[in-house]
Structure 1
Amino acid sequence: MSMTRKLGFHLLLMLSLSFPLSSTRAQTAALPETLARAVEISRRYMVEANITYITANNYEAKLDVYRPRDLTQPNPVVIFIHGGGWVAGTKEGSALELLPYLMMGFSVVNVEYRLARVSLAPAAVEDCRCALQWVIRNAERYKFDTNKIVVTGMSAGGHLALMTGMLPAAAGLDRQCSGTTDMKVAAIINWYGITDVNDLLDGPNMKGYAVVWLGSQINRDEIARRVSPLTYVRAGLPPILTIHGDADPTVPYDHAVRLHQALDRAGVPNQLLTIPGGKHGGFNAAETQRIYATIRDFLARYNLLPPGQ
């Protein structure tokens, strides 16, 4: 079975499992509808897997493209970036997180990047910026709507989503990318992402994953500042939605609050959705439903939903 067909089958399986039912009787009654919805989405999408979008430090960074079949016009696209503290994680391990966006009709690009064991900071940021450029450069082929690019991720992926959408070309972190495409996104959805990397290198908020990502580079603090979203808050940024639990032990909730306050001061449209008592993800069903309802409303507010949604 080809990689593309494997991913298509995997998507069908995920969809068939994505409708929890409360009882055996309910499962029996709802099974045909559940499978019908799963098959509908599976048949609606095609998958192109493991496309190399950049080769850096002898590493081929890859991405997967999920797109509706038979598109006749450019379609809004979500760029999804996995988490793992810049030291772990895979794009395949986050595949379930794509489901809500697929159900809403988005095209989705699922991105991997160099982890710390391959290259230290700022490599992951450089890669994700190059993934954005790849999306823009290949928009005609895949029918991506470059006016409706949404970038999102969780934890370190949230940080990288912020950096991908906020970073100005003048920061000099796009040099690995092919071409000089002007890179802009329409919105950023940040799930409990790091916003101040320096804060995690020393002191009460020190986190091992951040220390590993920066390593023993002589200019560690300078690099940390260059890869911190708070460094790039300014007027004219795209709308930003941040989702964060106020009891997060892995990424301090204060990172979300400080970003929200800084964006407000700069006049950037933004929203902070706080999950009371929420940890580092793992939100319950009611919280998750609230989050995705908020995401959908946020995207609708800025006219970023696919046609018919």
Structure 2
Amino acid sequence: MHGPIALLLAAAAPPAAASEAVEPAKIERDVVYRTVAGRALHLDVYRHADTATAPGPVLIHFHGGGWARGAQPADWTGFRPYMAAGLSLVTVQYRLAGVARAPAAVQDARCALHWVAANAARLGFDPDRIIVTGTSAGGHLALMAGLLPAANDIDSAECRGGPAVAAILDFYGPTDLTGIASRSGARHPTVANWIGDGAQAAATERAMSPVAWIAGDSPPVFIAHGDADPVVPIAQSIELKRRLDARAVPSELFVVRGGGHGKFAPEPRAEVSRRAIAFLCGRALLVASACETKN
């Protein structure tokens, strides 16, 4: 991994961008999905119009920022292609490293998933079509949220028994924390900042590595990564794809040629969104009309 540490901590923008004329039918902001150690954690809900007539798919998004910075998007507009394809959207706040180190952010992500499933009927969401996504560290959290088995030692007690996700959209997220090092070969400062030090650090890095949780029944995974990413090496996504293939988990890796750490040019950004939506269509997770008109 190269470049200044600040780059690792910079929140990457969502990969979606398009001009489709679509708006949420209903918006619920600052909904408390969990209170932990006296701290309320919030999420925003953007409901698709179709949820008024039938349960529909929902996309849960986790922001990037090296587990230490960043915040959930201020609105839904960066996700227009996904909403145009019939998806509702939930964006999630989680505890950052300065508040609580690993596995806190993963526990929060799993609790958000649990909350969405528990409230699916009220919100018009199909609990069998919950999709998780994220950019950079948020991609890592989406992978952890979707790959952890129902029985694990990471989930908080009150959030156990969450749903299986239908698919994961991972945008340039770290996948093997044991394989990320600084240029000197030492533990990378950003990873160390979130994991912490001490005798348990190595074990925590392994437990917080999504590749460690891949199983034959893991959900399908779409991956997008720039081959010139100076922050999260593309080797992380290549290794994820290799391990998914080894377990026969449906997956796709789209490489953005010359792409850095997100913030792709408009044309490749649109192509990433198109391919991600096509991937969901191929798993029958979106309505047929959206797949026919948008891909």
Range of TM-score over shorter length:
0.7 to 0.9
Q: Residue 145 of structure 1: CA displacement?
A: 0.4
Instruction: Select which of 96, 104, 110 maps to 1:129.
Output: 110
Helix, strand or coil: the match of 1:162?
Answer: helix
**Residue 295 in structure 1 maps to residue 276 in structure 2:** yes
Identity %: 38
Instruction: Select which of 178, 189, 204 maps to 2:169.
Output: 189
1:120 paired residue number: 101
1:106 paired residue number: 87
In the superposition, the TM-score normalised over structure 2's length comes to 0.86
Helix, strand or coil: the match of 1:136?
Answer: helix
- In structure 2, give the amino acid aligned to 1:230: V
Q: Residue 204 of structure 1: CA displacement?
A: 3.5
2:125 paired residue number: 144
Bigger CA radius of gyration: 1
Unaligned runs of 5+ in 2: 1-16, 291-295
- In structure 2, give the amino acid aligned to 1:144: F
**In structure 1, distance between residues paired with 2:146 and 2:248:** 16
- In structure 2, give the amino acid aligned to 1:47: I
Instruction: Select which of 238, 241, 246 maps to 1:265.
Output: 246
- In structure 2, give the amino acid aligned to 1:223: T
**In structure 1, distance between residues paired with 2:120 and 2:255:** 34
Aligned residues: 272
2:43 paired residue number: 63
Q: Deviations over 1:177-225 (max 9, x none)?
A: 34x4342011000000000112235653843321211122431111111
Q: Residue 306 of structure 1: CA displacement?
A: 3.8
Contact 2:18/2:270 (8 A) holds in 1? no
**Distance of aligned partners of 1:267 and 1:94 in 2 relative to their CA distance in 1, 3 Å threshold:** farther
- In structure 1, give the amino acid aligned to 2:239: R
Helix, strand or coil: the match of 1:88?
Answer: coil
Q: Say which structure, 1 or 2, has more relative contact order (CA 8 Å, 6+ apart).
A: 2
Contact 2:57/2:286 (8 A) holds in 1? yes
Contact 2:224/2:255 (8 A) holds in 1? yes
Instruction: Select which of 165, 175, 200 maps to 2:156.
Output: 175
Q: Residue 97 of structure 1: CA displacement?
A: 3.0
**In structure 2, distance between residues paired with 1:233 and 1:162:** 10
- In structure 2, give the amino acid aligned to 1:268: V
In the superposition, the TM-score normalised over structure 1's length comes to 0.83
CA RMSD of aligned residues (A): 2.0
**Distance of aligned partners of 1:198 and 1:58 in 2 relative to their CA distance in 1, 3 Å threshold:** farther
**In structure 2, distance between residues paired with 1:93 and 1:209:** 25
Determine which structure has the larger helix proportion and give its number: 1
Q: Deviations over 1:156-187 (max 9, x none)?
A: 00000000000013321222434x43420110
- In structure 2, give the amino acid aligned to 1:110: T
Helix, strand or coil: the match of 2:284?
Answer: coil
- In structure 2, give the amino acid aligned to 1:143: G
Instruction: Select which of 137, 141, 148 maps to 1:156.
Output: 137
Contact 1:195/1:255 (8 A) holds in 2? yes
Q: Deviations over 1:287-309 (max 9, x none)?
A: 11211111121011001114631
Contact 1:205/1:252 (8 A) holds in 2? no
Unaligned runs of 5+ in 1: 1-16, 20-33
- In structure 2, give the amino acid aligned to 1:228: S
**Distance of aligned partners of 1:273 and 1:105 in 2 relative to their CA distance in 1, 3 Å threshold:** same
**In structure 2, distance between residues paired with 1:144 and 1:291:** 25
Helix, strand or coil: the match of 1:272?
Answer: strand
1:78 paired residue number: 59
- In structure 2, give the amino acid aligned to 1:67: R
Instruction: Report the more deviating stretch, 118-127 or 48-57.
Output: 48-57
1:274 paired residue number: 255
- In structure 2, give the amino acid aligned to 1:240: V
- In structure 1, give the amino acid aligned to 2:117: I
Contact 2:59/2:88 (8 A) holds in 1? yes
**In structure 2, distance between residues paired with 1:121 and 1:269:** 28
Contact 1:186/1:239 (8 A) holds in 2? yes
**Distance of aligned partners of 1:307 and 1:51 in 2 relative to their CA distance in 1, 3 Å threshold:** farther
Instruction: Select which of 211, 231, 241 maps to 2:222.
Output: 241
**In structure 2, distance between residues paired with 1:169 and 1:187:** 16
Q: Deviations over 1:61-109 (max 9, x none)?
A: 1101100246121111001111101000101357443222222221111
Helix, strand or coil: the match of 2:145?
Answer: helix
